[in-house]
Structure 1
């Protein structure tokens, strides 16, 4: 599949369409071909390169779970060659209509000779704020990150 995405928004729409339809070929058409592409699924390890990313999507799609996405709270930062998108993904599985906490995702696209291509997808579960620890003003010796 040799698709050209003229805008990063079209590449992102194709990413979520491929995800919803469990279409591996369409999914990989969104990704760039460079070795430095990275994917981190919720609670997952860092996957780098097309082979690892392809295998992860094969595994996800083989589960047979039907997913529908509602994307909200999208924020975009774009330069001439890079576009960074942060979104909230509300995922509905197997026809369930209950709205769960969103997955927070960062998607980064790069302009290539073949149009815009994904170079990073990093998805994280929403933090459980019911068990959050309040952090007071840190002392100068405290390292938070």
Structure 2
């Protein structure tokens, strides 16, 4: 699948979650950088390295749960000329159920190259607590004392 030139890291991130929502494996894989050192860590803790390992795991995920919607909240973005890092909170929904199923902390790393911006790494891990709503109504991490 040929992907259009993606001008911003946000374009890649939006397309990534849109591909997940449509269980579109080809669209999802077209967003990754053309580099065998791409990496994807999903909340199950497995580290997937390279295009074939990442493709196979997402294929299995889409086969098991074809309707997943991910809503992002509390984004933190760092961008330079050739690299961008986004840290977000992902809240997962399945099918038409309005109740959230899980909350995940995710870091997406994007690389700018000749084909525009592409995903270099996606690292997701389970949040310690289910999010509370922030002032906008979007999910956010619960307040807690660290020390």
Q: TM-score, normalised by structure 2?
A: 0.84
Quote how far apart the aligned CAs of 1:44 are: 2.5
Quote how far apart the aligned CAs of 1:42 are: 0.4
Distance 1:44 1:86 in 2: 18
Moved more, 112-121 or 98-107: 98-107
Distance 2:100 2:62 in 1: 22
SS in structure 2 of the partner of residue 102 of structure 1: strand
Q: Deviations over 1:50-99 (max 9, x none)?
A: 01001111111111441112111011000100000000111111211113
Q: Do the aligned residues in 1 keep the contact of 2:41 with 2:48 (CA within 8 Å)?
A: yes
SS in structure 2 of the partner of residue 59 of structure 1: helix
Q: TM-score, normalised by structure 1?
A: 0.85
Moved over 4 A (4+): none
Unaligned runs of 5+ in 2: 131-144
Distance 1:94 1:101 in 2: 14
Q: 2:2 maps to what in 1?
A: 2
Q: Do the aligned residues in 1 keep the contact of 2:109 with 2:120 (CA within 8 Å)?
A: yes
Report how many aligned residue pairs link the two structures: 132
Query: Aligned-residue CA RMSD in angstroms?
Result: 1.7
Distance 1:101 1:57 in 2: 18
Quote how far apart the aligned CAs of 1:122 are: 0.5
Unaligned runs of 5+ in 1: 137-145
Quote how far apart the aligned CAs of 1:11 are: 0.5
Q: 2:18 maps to what in 1?
A: 17
Distance 2:71 2:11 in 1: 16
Q: 1:109 maps to what in 2?
A: 110
SS in structure 2 of the partner of residue 70 of structure 1: strand
